[in-house]
Chain A
């Protein structure tokens, strides 16, 4: 009887890690499959390597703990949306910090050719503009423009049609342009 209990316990000990590995193996699969695209997207949104690593870590931690370790129905959509949301919240914090700290970047003189070519300011202005966009427009810009996904893929991830994604992108660009104009005046 005792021998039987021991053998069952042994079986139990071996079975748990194996099943865990099997059930959570998809996290590593997702990392392997989408890692490169995700890192590119996060890098374009954040522009800081440490922030990219932090956002990437949070994304996969969130994925691993999704509904007590259950695999989401659409892993790609989940991963891309989570990464985009995490990156945007990091970016928002950074924008607020910059605004309140003494390290406020000097506004470039956009009317001069030198100011026009100040690419860094231009990119920071765009990043700040993206954080202020409405959620539905921002998602399209981050996934389509910064994540290099097609309109069809973007639409599938966000649950909208490709045509709607196209319209949202157009609206987002118009809003970003308006914001840049406001910044210049």
Chain B
């Protein structure tokens, strides 16, 4: 139990230190940017790091032919056992083409979905607030009536009338 507490405590401290470092030393902080603007060494460092990131994004964005997956599958299946080569799934893999996933296909409808969801949420909230206002109005009106009966006809009669109604 104590070990768990210590672990939680460590995690909290780690989180705090991390947040502090992110707050103070991120590249977009003004003092860091001022320093980089005046320090040739840091400029070179940042430039080189940026170049590596650029090279990585270039590698990622380099397109290949659409039939590459099909060709790779065909070549790989060709060296597997006969039972696997003749399987129906193997035939399907030989003709497969890279297709966007479900979420990628739905990405263009993202905005419409978001708008529709927002509309539904607003309608729901409006409906809920209308009903709750109605209930509040009813209970307040009931209290006022009870009070009126109590003042005009007496407490006992008012209690009898309103308890039998409930």
A interface majority secondary structure: helix
CA distance A14 to B80 in the complex (A): 20
- From the candidates A39, A126, A181, name the one contacting B69 in the complex (CB within 8 A): A39
CA distance A176 to B79 in the complex (A): 37
- From the candidates A61, A64, A125, A177, name the one contacting B45 in the complex (CB within 8 A): A177
A2-10, A30-38, A70-78, A94-102: which lies at the interface: A30-38
Q: Is B34 an interface residue, CB under 8 A from the partner?
A: no
Known: A49-B65, A60-B79, A61-B76. 11 other contacts (CB 8 A): A24-B80, A25-B87, A32-B93, A32-B96, A44-B62, A53-B71, A56-B72, A60-B76, A64-B81, A127-B59, A181-B48
Residue of B nearest to A172 (CB): B52
- Count contacts on A: residues with CB < 8 A to the other chain: 43
Most buried by A among B49, B59, B76: B76
| Interface positions of B (Cβ within 8 A of A) | 44-45, 48-49, 51-56, 58-60, 62, 64-65, 68-69, 71-73, 75-81, 83-84, 87, 89-90, 92-93, 96, 98
Q: Is the CB of B80 within 8 A of A173?
A: no
Q: Is the CB of B81 within 8 A of A122?
A: no
B interface majority secondary structure: helix
A-B contact pairs, 14 of them (CB 8 A): A17-B83, A25-B84, A25-B89, A31-B77, A39-B69, A44-B60, A53-B72, A59-B76, A122-B51, A123-B55, A123-B62, A126-B59, A145-B59, A173-B53
Q: Is the CB of A181 within 8 A of B44?
A: yes
Q: Given A177-B48, A181-B48, A35–B73 Cβ distance below 8 Å? A: yes
CA distance A49 to B68 in the complex (A): 7
